[in-house]
Amino acid sequence: MADIVFIHGMWSHGNVAAPLKEFFEKAGHRFHAPDLPGHDRESGLSRMTQSPLSIKRYVSSIEAFILNERFETPPVIIGHSMGGLVAQLVSARIETGPLILLNSAASSGINHLFPSTALTTLSVLLKPFFWRRNHRLNARLGKYGIFNCVRPEKAGEIINTLKPESGRCFFEVVFSMLDRSKTTQVDPESIKTPILVVSSMEDKIIPPRVARAIYDHYPQAEYHGFAGHGHWIFHESGSERVYQALSDWLEALDISFVTNEEENGSIEEPLQTHHNRPQLYPTTKKVPTPKRSRLIPFPVSAGRFRRGTLTETSTDGGAVLPR
């Protein structure tokens, strides 16, 4: 049994991953989906008049959540969209379990702005000094670039529940090359845990080439791409196969979720965290290094990376991703 912390993306809230939560809870795991600051029902209603928040605030809130929960073992982190970038920033600062990055935004230095991205967020980009205000998602553009693989009526329901997003955070993520503070910079050596990068081939707001750059950024990363899916994978047809692929990857890591009390009857010497990170978990178990093989044996359509190119393949044996 694992503790899983889900981090949502821009305009979202923790409840958007309800189907993913149901899947993992049926498998016996504990699924936590906190709302980021300004994204809960109360603050979301008045946020249009509030000052826009930095992504630093989001990172701090997830760190505090993990610390306050006092998990027995480092939790698995699943980050979607901007939440994937928050997951990377958190894991670079404190000890976490494996990272699963779903259609994730990337750290500083990796380009996010492509024609389909610009079109999806045009209502933000066209506002003067957009970084000084908060923004609602334009429904028509959202259906084009975020909910393009979701049934239109369902997409409309979801959009009605979304929250205003910080223009400052949008600037820090999308225009990281112009951010002199390098707010979203992540040293790949600072993350030691296994990483699975997941990309949807029909994603328009964060195209698969961003996932490729994230995969290249982390030496231990593995990649899996899914044909026929868009950015909002939670409410798309066939999303169960994606959830199963995530579960199978975690199981393949052979991570033990047994506490020291259950295994030995006592607490052993605490694990020394790397890079002078705070000591969080009373466990002697180290997060295992990824397996040398880049085989992800899932019988679904997969994206395969070769040097300098991205191709989409359909295979019954999975995708082999050579370094």
Which tops the pLDDT comparison, 96 or 254? 96
Note the pLDDT of residue 177. 87
pLDDT of residue 281: 33
The number of C-alpha atoms within 13 Å of 36 and in the hemisphere containing its C-beta is 31
Residue 39 φ then ψ, to 5°: -115, 0
Place of tokens 């821009």: 10
Whose tokens are 């112009």? That residue is 178
| Mean pLDDT within 108-122 | 93
H or E element, residue 304: strand 301-306
pLDDT tens, 69-106?
A: 989 899 999 999 999 999 999 999 999 999 999 999 99
Residues 186/107, Cβ–Cβ less than 8 Å: yes
22 vs 9: CA distance, rounded Å: 19
Q: Which two tokens stand for residue 95?
A: 């000890």
**Would you place residue 42 in the very low, low, confident or very high pLDDT band (cuts 50, 70, 90)?**
low
| Average confidence (pLDDT) over 188-198 | 95
The string of pLDDT tens digits covering residues 131-180 is: 999 999 999 999 999 999 999 999 999 999 999 999 999 999 999 988 88
129: left (phi over 0), alpha (psi -120 to 50) or beta: left
Check residue 258 and give its pLDDT: 38
What DSSP state is assigned to residue 6?
E
Q: What is the DSSP string of 63-79?
A: HHHHHHHT-SSPPEEEE
Flag whether pLDDT at 215 surpasses 80. yes
Whether the model clears a pTM of 0.85, i.e. scores above it, the answer is no
Question: What's the CA gap between 66 and 63, in Å, rounded?
Answer: 5
Closest CA to 161 of 81, 99, 232: 232
CA gyration radius for the chain?
19
Full DSSP string of 144-175: HHTSTTS-HHHHHHHHTT---EEHHHHHHHHT
Do 130 and 167 contact (CB within 8 A), yes or no?
A: yes
Residue 280 banded pLDDT, cuts 50, 70, 90: very low
- Quick one: residue 321, left, alpha or beta (phi over 0 = left, psi -120 to 50 = alpha)? beta
7 Cβ contact partners less than 8 Å away, ≥ 6 residues apart: 34, 36, 62, 77, 78, 79, 80, 83, 84, 86, 87, 90
Q: Are strands 165-166 and 134-135 parallel, antiparallel or unpaired?
A: antiparallel
Percent of the chain, pLDDT > 70?
75
Number of domains forming the structure of the chain: 1
**pLDDT at 193 > cutoff 90:** yes
Amino acid present at 1: M
**Cα separation, 164 vs 166, whole angstroms:** 7
CATH of the domain at 170: 3.40.50.1820
Straight-line distance from the first to the last Cα atom of the chain, in angstroms, rounded to the nearest whole number: 32
By residue range, what is the domain housing residue 93?
3-320
